[in-house]
């Protein structure tokens, strides 16, 4: 599939609609979700009549949505399509087969995910590691050691590419097969903070960088807290290594708990300022952990499970695997679960195969977890 044009016409049209929706003035994420719930897809929203849209948005916003895209939006669409020419760049829209199911289930999932690097990592068991930017040497060593051991067990370590605990966790995780995902608060084409540029480039090459922000979005203070819901949303749990009382890591942990994720916290001395946040979390119900083994047991991941590293930075399946998948798909809408039973594969491999076919415009996703072959 590597030789197939990664952005066929149907895919371009769909992506254009998503970018128009996300760029529409006055339409925030919450409104976009309401419109998607009402109409089903960006295409259906733009095809809806004025009265139907106005019932949700009022007449002014409905008229604005019906207007042709602005120059800025057209430039963004062009920039995004050009960026997607690189085989290691991807955009997933909410509802795409490869869009991580765990993230899709949070209350406010991103409409689009910009992905740079190994998109296959999105299908791995994942754990977030977060903590203070002003971490101690011991805290950073703990973050790196936990991340390395989790990654060795095949768990992908998710963090936010900040200084301190985040950077140490990414670095530790890059050593193992589980690798790492950095969820950034800027466009996926930018590197921030500057001090982590070398690390960010390594993650782009060996791991995966994820952003919900349009390409070129500069760092703004409001975007970083929003980004935290994706860090926990991609993960089955959040491990807090060091955190001051009333710090941002505690907000991440609270959001994670609201998303139903397990929160883990490392204890420390009663005299250590950066243990206070972790102790507060433990008082509030977080699981106190001393070892990686405890985290893996809680995640129900065997510490002995070793997932082979993928050598390619673009881990889409081979053409023969896709041909077999297409053959199984037949000509009727098919449930993904049923497909999984028919094929000698796992959900991760199947998702990647379906993603490749979807990006090639050869299948489409239908409501209710079904997929169908497109006959051209």
In the complex, the residues that contact its own copies under the rule CB under 8 A are 138, 142, 266-271, 275-276, 279, 282-283, 287-288, 290-291
Least CB distance to its own copies at residue 278 (A) = 8
Least CB distance to its own copies at residue 268 (A) = 6
Least CB distance to its own copies at residue 53 (A) = 53
Please identify, using beta-carbon distances, which residue of 291 and 318 lies nearer to its own copies: 291
Please identify, using beta-carbon distances, which residue of 145 and 340 lies nearer to its own copies: 145
DSSP state of 189: T
Nearest to 160 by CA among 113, 90, 226: 226
Least CB distance to its own copies at residue 236 (A) = 20
Please identify, using beta-carbon distances, which residue of 142 and 151 lies nearer to its own copies: 142
Q: At what angle do helices 248-258 and 223-233 cross, to 10 degrees?
A: 50
Please identify, using beta-carbon distances, which residue of 269 and 300 lies nearer to its own copies: 269
Helix (H, G, I), strand (E, B) or coil at 164: coil
Kindly report each contact of residues 367-371 with a partner whose C-beta sits within 8 Å and lies 24 or more positions away, as own/partner. 367/40, 368/335, 369/335, 369/336, 369/337, 370/333, 370/334, 370/335, 370/336, 371/97, 371/329, 371/333, 371/334, 371/336, 371/339
Distance between CA 130 and CA 293 in Å, rounded? Answer: 18
Torsion of CA 160, 162, 163, 166, to 10 degrees: -10
Confirm if 265 and 274 have CB atoms less than 8 A apart: no
Structure tokens, 325: 């998948």
Please identify, using beta-carbon distances, which residue of 69 and 267 lies nearer to its own copies: 267
Please identify, using beta-carbon distances, which residue of 291 and 310 lies nearer to its own copies: 291
Least CB distance to its own copies at residue 242 (A) = 11
Least CB distance to its own copies at residue 245 (A) = 10
* Alpha helices (H) in the chain, listed in sequence order: 9-23, 29-39, 42-47, 50-57, 59-66, 71-83, 101-104, 137-152, 165-174, 197-206, 223-233, 248-258, 276-283, 292-299, 319-329, 336-342, 347-359
Please identify, using beta-carbon distances, which residue of 250 and 329 lies nearer to its own copies: 250
Please identify, using beta-carbon distances, which residue of 52 and 141 lies nearer to its own copies: 141
DSSP state of 61: H
Least CB distance to its own copies at residue 166 (A) = 19
Distance between CA 338 and CA 99 in Å, rounded? Answer: 19
Distance between CA 107 and CA 123 in Å, rounded? Answer: 20
Least CB distance to its own copies at residue 261 (A) = 19
């Amino acid at each position: 599939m590597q030789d197939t044009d990664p952005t066929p016409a149907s895919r371009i049209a769909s992506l254009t609609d998503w970018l128009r929706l996300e760029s529409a003035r006055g339409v925030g994420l919450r409104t976009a979700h309401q419109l998607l719930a009402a109409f089903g897809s960006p295409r259906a929203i733009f095809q809806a009549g004025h009265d139907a849209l106005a019932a949700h948005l009022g007449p002014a916003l409905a008229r604005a949505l019906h207007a042709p895209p602005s120059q800025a939006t057209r430039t963004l669409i062009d920039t995004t399509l050009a960026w997607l020419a690189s085989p290691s760049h991807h955009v997933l829209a909410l509802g795409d087969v490869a869009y991580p199911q765990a993230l899709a289930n949070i209350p406010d999932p991103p409409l689009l995910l910009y992905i740079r690097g190994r998109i296959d990592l999105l299908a791995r068991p994942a754990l977030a590691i977060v903590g203070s930017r002003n971490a101690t040497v011991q805290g950073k060593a703990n973050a790196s050691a936990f991340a390395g051991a989790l990654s060795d067990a095949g768990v992908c370590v998710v963090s936010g590419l900040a200084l301190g605990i985040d950077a140490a966790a990414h670095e530790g995780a890059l050593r193992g097969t589980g690798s790492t995902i950095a969820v950034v608060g800027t466009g996926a084409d930018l590197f921030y903070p500057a001090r982590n540029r070398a690390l960010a480039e390594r993650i782009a090459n060996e791991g995966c960088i994820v952003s919900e922000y349009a390409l070129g979005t500069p760092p703004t203070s409001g975007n970083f807290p929003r980004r935290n819901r994706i860090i926990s949303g991609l993960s089955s749990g959040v491990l807090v290594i060091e955190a001051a009382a009333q710090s941002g890591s505690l907000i991440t942990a609270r959001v994670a708990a609201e998303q139903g994720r397990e929160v883990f916290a490392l204890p420390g001395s009663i005299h250590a300022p950066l243990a206070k946040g972790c102790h507060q979390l433990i008082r509030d119900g977080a699981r106190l952990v001393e070892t990686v083994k405890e985290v893996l047991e809680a995640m129900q991941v065997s510490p002995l499970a070793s997932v082979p590293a993928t050598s390619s930075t673009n881990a889409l399946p081979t053409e023969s695997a896709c041909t077999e998948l297409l053959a199984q798909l037949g000509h009727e809408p098919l449930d993904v679960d049923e497909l999984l039973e028919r094929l000698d594969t796992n959900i991760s491999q199947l998702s990647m195969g379906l993603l490749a076919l979807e990006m090639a415009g050869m299948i489409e996703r239908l409501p209710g977890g079904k997929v169908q072959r497109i006959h051209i």
